[in-house]
Every structure is written in structure tokens, then in C-alpha cells.
Amino acid sequence: MEAAFGEDHADTLMSKNNLAIVLSESGKLEESEQLHRKVLGRRIRMLGDEHPDSLASLENLATVLMKGGQLSESEELHRLVLEHRHEALGHGHPDTLESKSSLATLLSESGKLEESELMHRQVLETRVASLGADHPDTLSSKQSLASVLLSCGKLAESEQLHRELLGVHARQLGPDHPNILLLRLNLANVLSVAGTPDKLGESEVLYRQVTEALTGRLGKGHPSVLTCKLNLAKVLLATGKFEESEQHFREALEFMIETFGEGDPTAMSCKHNLATVLLKAGKVAEAETLYRQLLETTQAAFGADSPNAFSCKHTLGNVLLTAGKLEESEQMHRQVLALRESSLGANDLETLNSKNSLALVLSEQGQIDVAEKLQREVLASVTRILGVDHPRTQKCKHNLADVLGKAGKHEEVRELLGVT
């Protein structure tokens, strides 16, 4: 087409734009970005930067940048498109609303949840008024808002919106439509985060339904099936069904290692979850083996002094405490504490967590005076940072009380815990 019409012809640019979109959908983001930039440059030169075709190219480029993790430039471009469309078309025009929705999604990806929530609410309100509550665009806005609310921790409202979406789609599409499975999965995710016994129970039922349906349609090795199985396994872990949870984690881990290798982040996360189940089930030796493997893999992938390695070594130190290997546990916790103090500072919560863990090991070894000193330091810092009523502060208070009890300081224990 370029040979027939020239590189600046509208049809040539449209073809290049469409090719760039296909490249993006195929995961070829760098090539897609380059092509979008070329089309954008030519359209701006020929049509001006406020022409609808130029704005469409700008938005397409912003979308590719977001996919590639270039969030700052993507946000800048999305804001520019929204500003132009708002001025030219008005705040209620479908193109303006689509731009605002895209920007809100980008802001959520960037962690700017408050502004993202506000924008999604504005788009939803306008679409309800102009299109009706059951229009596909309105339902899309409601889904986006529900997702942001989940990220914000506003679980009750997120759950309510997910239930409304599930009801509308079930009426419109029927109970067996693929979209219904996705909505059930989303609702299950909200309920699992809520974490109360009744919501975990409902979440388990939904995960089982979705896992069974997707396995029948896609096969047990499909990524979507594995994701559902992992989510189900986590709920089973939370509800104390360790045997079945372990089985699901083992099956998923075996497939992931075969497919992606030991160093794949998802496989490493799955191995961590399996180790957690084993520890909860009292299978301490196997849990220790898995955590040692994880530490080795993590250090190879991220470096021995990386935050991921610190976290893994800290967890292994706790497992060694459970296994009664106190000397090695102490050594690991001292290493992590020293590294965190130098990199994060003495009053960072992760550093204080390491100090608390070291104190627990020292207490088990009978080094009560040192353990008491560390627990007093931890409690003072955590109280200052989080406040006296925070659950973590209360946990630290009880840890200090345990050490004081071992030291025979029972009157101070009663005073600390408010016991008369």
C-alpha cells in the first residue's frame, strides 16, 4: 500500500497503525512502539496534534507503553489525550469517557489508587446516566471500579459490585457463558482476601466451580486452570485443609518446573506456598529442604544481598527455629538483621521484624537478657511507628511479656498486659 499511495497517505498510516496493534497483541512491544511513534509523527505533521486520528495514535502509543512498563510516559500521554478530548468533545462524550477510563487503569497500575478510584467512579456515574445500568460499557466501568476497590482494601463495596456484575451477566448471558466464570473467579478473589470463615467457604466453592469448568474446557495444564488451582490451594491452606492444599500445590509446582524451570518466579512462589503448607502440617524437614532450595534459587536470580534473598533467608531462619536448629537459625537472623539495618535503617519495619525473630531464637537458647533487650527495642519502635493499638504492636507486647515471664519478672508482665 505504501508503494501505491505513498508513506503519508491516510490508508497507509491506517495499515501501519493496525499492524502496530497486532504486534502489540503478539507481545512484540518494542516493534509496536516504534511503529506507533512513526505513525503518530506523520499524523501530527499532516493533521495537527489535536486531530482525532493523531489522538488515536497517541492513545495507542500510551497503551503499548503501559504494557511495556513505561508507566510515567504512558500516563503523560493518556493525560494529554484526555485533555484534548475533554476540550473538543465534552466530558460526557464516549471517546472522552474511554480516555478517562484508560487513564484510570494506568493510574491503578502505577499505584495511584485514590485518583484511579475517583476517575472510575466518574466514568461509571456518567455511563449509568447516559447508557443505563446494564449497558456493556457501564458494566465494564463497574468491573474496573470493583478491581480498584479490591486493591484499595475496600472489600465490602468491591464484593457488592462483583455480585451485581455476576447477577446482570448471568441474566444476559446464561450461567455457562465464559464471562460468568471470570466473574465468579473475581468474586472468589475478593472473598478470599476478606478472609472471614464464611467468605473463605464461599470462595472455596467458587474456586472449585471455576477450576472444574476451566479444566473441562482448556485442559489441566492451561495457565488459567493453574491460576485457579493455586488460588483454591491458598484458600484450603487458610481453612486448615492442609492435605488437599498440599496436593494442589504439588501438582501445580511439578507442571511449572517442567514447563518454565526452577527459576521461574511463579514456580518459586508456588514452591514457597507448598513449603508453607508443609510447615503448617508439621512436615518441617521437607519444608526446610524447599526453603533451602528457594534461598539458593533466589540468590542466583537476584543476588545474595537482594531484598528477595533477605526475605527468603529470614523465612528459613524461622523454619530452622521450628526445627530446633537454633545455632543456624541465630546465624541467619543475625545476617539478615545486619543487612537490613545497613540498607533499610534500624527503624524500618522489616528490620524490626528481623530483630524480633532473632530475639525469639535467643530466648529459646536461654539468652534471656539479650532477648529482653531486643524485644524492648522492637516494642518501643513499633509502638512509635504503628501506634499502641495496632495488632502488630500487641503481638510485640506479648513477645516481650513471654521473655519477661522467662526472666521471672511476673509483676512487669501483669503491668504490661494490663492484668490485675
How far apart, in Å, are the Cα atoms of 133 and each of 64, 136, 156, 259?
30, 9, 20, 43
The dihedral sign for the CA sequence 240, 241, 243, 245: negative
Q: Are residues 204 and 241 in the same domain?
A: yes
Q: Are residues 376 and 415 in the same domain?
A: yes
Q: Are residues 258 and 338 in the same domain?
A: no
Structural domain includes residue 275: yes
Q: Which cell is 367 given?
A: 539468652
318 has pLDDT over 60: yes
Structural domain includes residue 87: no
Structural domain includes residue 48: no
Residues 96-150 pLDDT 10s: 999 999 999 999 999 999 999 999 999 999 999 999 999 999 999 999 999 999 9
Give this prediction's pTM: 0.81
Residues 227-257 pLDDT 10s: 999 999 999 999 999 999 999 999 999 989 9
Mean pLDDT of the chain: 93
Nearest to 64 by CA among 79, 77, 52, 74: 74
Which DSSP symbol is given to 286? H
The terminus-to-terminus CA distance of the chain in angstroms comes to: 88
Structural domain includes residue 272: yes
Question: Domain residues for 251?
Answer: 171-282
Q: Are residues 370 and 397 in the same domain?
A: yes
Structural domain includes residue 204: yes
At 39 the pLDDT is 82
Domain CATH code at residue 310: 1.25.40.10
311 has pLDDT over 80: yes
Q: Are residues 320 and 398 in the same domain?
A: yes
Domain count, the chain: 2
364/103 Cα distance (integer angstroms) = 53
Structural domain includes residue 273: yes
144/137 Cα distance (integer angstroms) = 11
Nearest to 363 by CA among 413, 399, 334, 323: 399
> Which of 221, 249, 282 is where one domain is finished?
282
174: left (phi over 0), alpha (psi -120 to 50) or beta: left
Q: Are residues 311 and 416 in the same domain?
A: yes
Burial of 128 (0-12, 13-18, 19+ CB in 10 A): middle
> Which of 228, 249, 282 is where one domain is finished?
282
Provide the total of helices (H) and of strands (E) in the chain, helices listed first: 21, 0
Q: Are residues 181 and 262 in the same domain?
A: yes
> Which of 228, 254, 282 is where one domain is finished?
282
At 220 the pLDDT is 83
Structural domain includes residue 382: yes
Scan for cell 512462589, then name that residue.
269
Q: Are residues 181 and 258 in the same domain?
A: yes
pLDDT category of residue 3 using cuts at 50, 70 and 90: very low
Q: Are residues 219 and 276 in the same domain?
A: yes
At 9 the pLDDT is 66
344/385 Cα distance (integer angstroms) = 15
Q: Are residues 224 and 271 in the same domain?
A: yes
Q: Are residues 278 and 322 in the same domain?
A: no
Scan for cell 502505577, then name that residue.
110
Q: Are residues 188 and 271 in the same domain?
A: yes
Please give the full DSSP string across 161-199, using - where no structure is assigned. Answer: HHHHHHHHHHHHH-TTSHHHHHHHHHHHHHHHHH--HHH
Structural domain includes residue 83: no
Q: What is the CA radius of gyration of the chain?
A: 27
Nearest to 235 by CA among 181, 309, 185: 185
Residues 322-378 pLDDT 10s: 999 999 999 999 999 999 999 999 999 999 999 999 999 999 999 999 999 999 999
pLDDT category of residue 8 using cuts at 50, 70 and 90: low
